[in-house]
Chains A and B, each alone.
Chain A
Amino acid sequence: MQVHKYDVVIVGAGGAGMRAAIESGQRAHTAVLTKLYPTRSHTGAAQGGMCAALANVEEDNWEWHTFDTVKGGDYLVDQDAAEVMAKEAIEAVIDLEKMGLPFNRTPEGRIDQRRFGGHTRDHGKAPVRRACYAADRTGHMILQTLYQNCVKHNVEFYNEYYVLDLLTVEEEATREDGTVYLQKKTAGVVSYDLATGELHIFQAKSVILATGGAGKVFKTTSNAHTLTGDGMGIAFRKGIPLEDMEFFQFHPTGLAGLGILLSEAARGEGAILRNSEGERFMERYAPTIKDLAPRDIVARSMANEVREGRGCGPNKDYVLLDLTHLEPAHIDAKLPDITEFARTYLGVEPYTEPVPVFPTAHYAMGGVPTNITTEVLQDNDTVIPGLYAAGEVACVSVHGSNRLGTNSLLDINVFGKRAGIAAAKYALTADFVELPENPEADTVALLDHVRKSDGGEKVALIRKDLQDTMDANMQVFRTADSLNKVLADIAVFEERYSRITVQDKGKRFNLDLLEAVELGFLLELAKVMTVAALHRQESRGGHYREDFPERDDENFMKHSMAYLDSGVTVENSAESIAGIRLGTKPVVFTRYQPMVRKY
């Protein structure tokens, strides 16, 4: 067993991880552990832009951006965090430009900006040009630019190292009010080297979780095959809560049947949605900003059109994204990649034909709870010294119940940078926490179980069944019945999971084994999401309960916090589900009181 020692260990090399690494690497001895080569990360699939109130093309300011973010999240956003993000957005964009990011430019040579869903002038009056972009490959440019700068600063990467466990120790501590509690402390991580199958212990003063999302709990998703929620999973298993997991964003315009993302930038550039009658139906659902309403509203409107029989195609199960009134030269200049996707994967020519689209699972608003310094919380009041999280794995919470387009690229840059600085600063004064005895024991047990189990169940089949039930019952529309169906299904899947067989018994590049481990995370996270959705008996942002169609601020203007707790059994808590305890956390308000959310 090899043991490595670093001041700071960053888990994940997407936008948040590499933005953190650029800061941390210049201040402290830093390693980045990543299950993919850094440039394979899914930040690279982001398309449309990154919002910041630069006001390069029209009047704008960060306060309007904060308001849009809060309203877009249906007031479940922590407003202190949204202020930080909107304010620091400007510097974040300038940082990237100085690092070399090739933004599109205005005729004056400044960074160009375009419209995006939910981003408005003066508190909702009209769409505003706020998204800084590089054609429709802004995420690709961000990922490449950050990797280039990691090369420049000699950041140390451990590529294809899967982190499978977080090492923490617990010590008795006393609160100000005299109560005694168990304080968690960060000791490091356990990782699995894909090439050799060996485990490596990384002892670290600071650990930053930057592992991204968990979209593979759904079948139709814009997410990569590798987005299996590993970071959320390892934190949850260590007793760290997960916040607001019921809120998952369904992006309106996935290529029908495939889920591949077509950027909202298409609608920002003027594309519109039509139903089978050729009608621009968003005029009915959001009369002011129409097709540029936030994603939750557009996705629900599309699903509703299909439900009411106005879907297109042989099965009437999708709607159309119409770009045919746009100039081909304009499409080529601003939306080259997504039109290429339509041609390659559906054989549709967007110049002349509308493109079949349907909502696709896109983004987890929830995740590992942090404060605005990106420190991870073990409960509402207590941070875990030395543990940080940023990006989609985290919930800070700037997205509330529905993230606005472009705010994820912003989130990873603002909070990735904050995490890198904070983790390095902490590591420079803190001591190493002694590793627990047999630090690898849990990981060895996990892998042994997966390797030796021979019940004949196939990982891929269980995963497919999970994704099918999540798509059918946990998507845009939810009811108590549909959610209970998911939970009953997951109970069956968990039993089947205990009887899986992994065919590849080797040590080198055993992705068969790791897919089985990843399925364990997916099952656990799907259950947390569904339990939280069942308990939230209201509709807010991305979470829509047909049996509770209204927002209920009196009872539910609060974050949900799900804890792993073996003390919760079906017998002692009818409302709960075995193994998960649900708590709440207050929402932070600064300047905006909740209003009815209309566009």
Chain B
Amino acid sequence: MSTVETELPEPASKIELPAHLGGGGEIPTFDVTLRVRRYNPEVSEESTWENFTMTMYGTDRVLDALHKVKWEQDGSLTFRRSCAHGVCGSDAMRINGRNRLACKTLLKDLDTSKPITVEPIKGLPVEKDLIVDMEPFFQSFREVMPFLVNRGHEPAKERLQSAEDRERFDDTTKCILCAACTSSCPVFWTDGQYFGPAAIVNAHRFIFDSRDDAGDMRLEILNDKEGVWRCRTTFNCTEACPRGIQITQAIAEVKQAILGRSI
């Protein structure tokens, strides 16, 4: 047994609160126009732009605006969403030309004086409106052996891992597989065979896990002509990641590991 942390001092039973607490006042409203790229092959092979205008609140997100369209104006507007607070990865889309999660993008942080453009993420086949076929993306993920491989003796209890070793791959465990990174990558746009940043991030998560024994196999997979060497370090992926993962750095670390291995 050990005591890992010292006891915190008891906080005060009562404190003076500053008068402004709570942000105060009415939540401002404003009008926004969404300019959405529509596509429905049941109707036409061509995609079109459609504008929707509505009144929204200062705390609303792009997802709220899309819901307002779907629920009040046009039920056929189609997009994926689930958790609505940036952890499930369903609603990555291209908002004003940048890949973001609709549920994590507050309208007030965008320029609402102009229409806000909303398009599906690029590089994956569009199915309907903002929905793309995610299968090629998940196929690349599955190909990097995204699971722990341990060939050693199985202990009865947990395997030990130092806090430092655990920290080594912490950043890449945050991935929610939303595809914002991969579909922001110019290499992926022109070459759908490229594994793409998300798959490499998930390989990194295991390559640098001290408990894992299959790092060499993953490095071999990523040493492929469609692997890490296609990365041209444009940092689009890092900028697009809604989880703040240092993706370009993770890719660089995988490249280093491949080079280190072959020496």
On whether the beta carbons of A45 and B83 are closer than 8 Å, the reply is: yes
On whether the beta carbons of A57 and B88 are closer than 8 Å, the reply is: no
B263 at the A/B interface (Cβ < 8 Å)? Answer: no
Binary CB contact string for chain A from 262 to 281 against chain B (1 if under 8 A, 0 otherwise): 00000000101010111110
Expressed in whole angstroms, the Cα–Cα distance for A506 and B89 within the complex equals 26
On whether the beta carbons of A325 and B11 are closer than 8 Å, the reply is: yes
On whether the beta carbons of A107 and B163 are closer than 8 Å, the reply is: yes
B5-46, CB < 8 A from A: 8-9, 11-17, 21-26, 40-43
Say whether, besides A149-B147, A272-B11, A313-B23, A112 and B4 are in contact (CB < 8 Å). Answer: yes
Expressed in whole angstroms, the minimum distance between the Cβ of A64 and any Cβ of chain B is 16
On whether the beta carbons of B24 and A45 are closer than 8 Å, the reply is: no
On whether the beta carbons of B128 and A509 are closer than 8 Å, the reply is: yes
Expressed in whole angstroms, the Cα–Cα distance for A200 and B209 within the complex equals 41
A555 at the A/B interface (Cβ < 8 Å)? Answer: no
Binary CB contact string for chain B from 131 to 151 against chain A (1 if under 8 A, 0 otherwise): 100100010011000111010
For B20, give the chain A residue with the smallest CB separation: A353
On whether the beta carbons of B23 and A346 are closer than 8 Å, the reply is: yes
Residues of A within 8 A of B129 (CB): 509
B57-91, CB < 8 A from A: 59, 67, 70-72, 74-76, 78, 80-90
A137 at the A/B interface (Cβ < 8 Å)? Answer: yes
- B interface residue count range (under 10 / 10 to 19 / 20 to 34 / 35 or more): 35 or more
Expressed in whole angstroms, the minimum distance between the Cβ of B198 and any Cβ of chain A is 11
Expressed in whole angstroms, the Cα–Cα distance for A147 and B11 within the complex equals 41
A41 at the A/B interface (Cβ < 8 Å)? Answer: yes
On whether the beta carbons of A40 and B8 are closer than 8 Å, the reply is: no
> Which one of A345, A356, A511 has the greatest number of beta carbons of chain B within 10 Å?
A511
Expressed in whole angstroms, the minimum distance between the Cβ of B69 and any Cβ of chain A is 11
On whether the beta carbons of B89 and A509 are closer than 8 Å, the reply is: no
A152 at the A/B interface (Cβ < 8 Å)? Answer: yes
On whether the beta carbons of B87 and A140 are closer than 8 Å, the reply is: yes
Q: Tell which of A67-75, A94-102, A242-250, A299-307 binds the partner.
A: A94-102
Residues of A within 8 A of B8 (CB): 270, 325-326
A458 at the A/B interface (Cβ < 8 Å)? Answer: yes
Expressed in whole angstroms, the Cα–Cα distance for A504 and B70 within the complex equals 10
Binary CB contact string for chain A from 38 to 68 against chain B (1 if under 8 A, 0 otherwise): 0111101100000000010111000000000
For A320, give the chain B residue with the smallest CB separation: B21
B159 at the A/B interface (Cβ < 8 Å)? Answer: yes
B166 at the A/B interface (Cβ < 8 Å)? Answer: yes
For B7, give the chain A residue with the smallest CB separation: A270
On whether the beta carbons of B170 and A107 are closer than 8 Å, the reply is: no
- Tell me the dominant secondary structure on chain B's binding face: loop
For B83, give the chain A residue with the smallest CB separation: A224
A7 at the A/B interface (Cβ < 8 Å)? Answer: no
On whether the beta carbons of A506 and B82 are closer than 8 Å, the reply is: no
On whether the beta carbons of B87 and A44 are closer than 8 Å, the reply is: yes
A10-43, CB < 8 A from B: 36-37, 39-42
On whether the beta carbons of A109 and B76 are closer than 8 Å, the reply is: no
A512 at the A/B interface (Cβ < 8 Å)? Answer: yes
B253 at the A/B interface (Cβ < 8 Å)? Answer: no
Residues of B within 8 A of A55 (CB): 1
> Which one of B142, B147, B163, B175 has the greatest number of beta carbons of chain A within 10 Å?
B147
On whether the beta carbons of A314 and B22 are closer than 8 Å, the reply is: yes
B194 at the A/B interface (Cβ < 8 Å)? Answer: no
A341 at the A/B interface (Cβ < 8 Å)? Answer: yes
On whether the beta carbons of B41 and A144 are closer than 8 Å, the reply is: no
Residues of B within 8 A of A346 (CB): 23, 59
On whether the beta carbons of A313 and B163 are closer than 8 Å, the reply is: no
Expressed in whole angstroms, the Cα–Cα distance for A222 and B12 within the complex equals 30
Expressed in whole angstroms, the Cα–Cα distance for A270 and B5 within the complex equals 12
On whether the beta carbons of B85 and A345 are closer than 8 Å, the reply is: yes
Residues of A within 8 A of B162 (CB): 105, 109
B113 at the A/B interface (Cβ < 8 Å)? Answer: no
A391-432, CB < 8 A from B: none
Of the candidates B1, B40, B72, the one whose C-beta lies within 8 Å of that of A58 is B1
Residues of B within 8 A of A313 (CB): 21-24
On whether the beta carbons of B75 and A274 are closer than 8 Å, the reply is: no
Query: Given A98-B150, A109-B160, A274-B15, 13 more contacts at CB 8 Å?
Result: A40-B88, A45-B83, A103-B158, A107-B4, A112-B4, A225-B83, A257-B59, A270-B8, A278-B15, A313-B22, A345-B59, A458-B71, A503-B75
Could you write out 11 A-B pairs with CB less than 8 Å apart?
A57-B4, A58-B1, A98-B150, A102-B209, A105-B160, A110-B160, A111-B158, A140-B176, A348-B23, A354-B17, A460-B72
Report A's interface with B, CB cutoff 8 A: 36-37, 39-42, 44-45, 55, 57-59, 93-94, 97-100, 102-112, 134, 137, 140-141, 144, 148-149, 151-152, 195, 224-226, 257-258, 260, 270, 272, 274, 276-280, 283, 312-314, 318, 320, 322, 325-326, 337, 341, 344-348, 353-354, 356, 458-461, 502-504, 506-512
The 3 closest A-B pairs by CB, nearest first: A100-B148, A313-B22, A460-B71
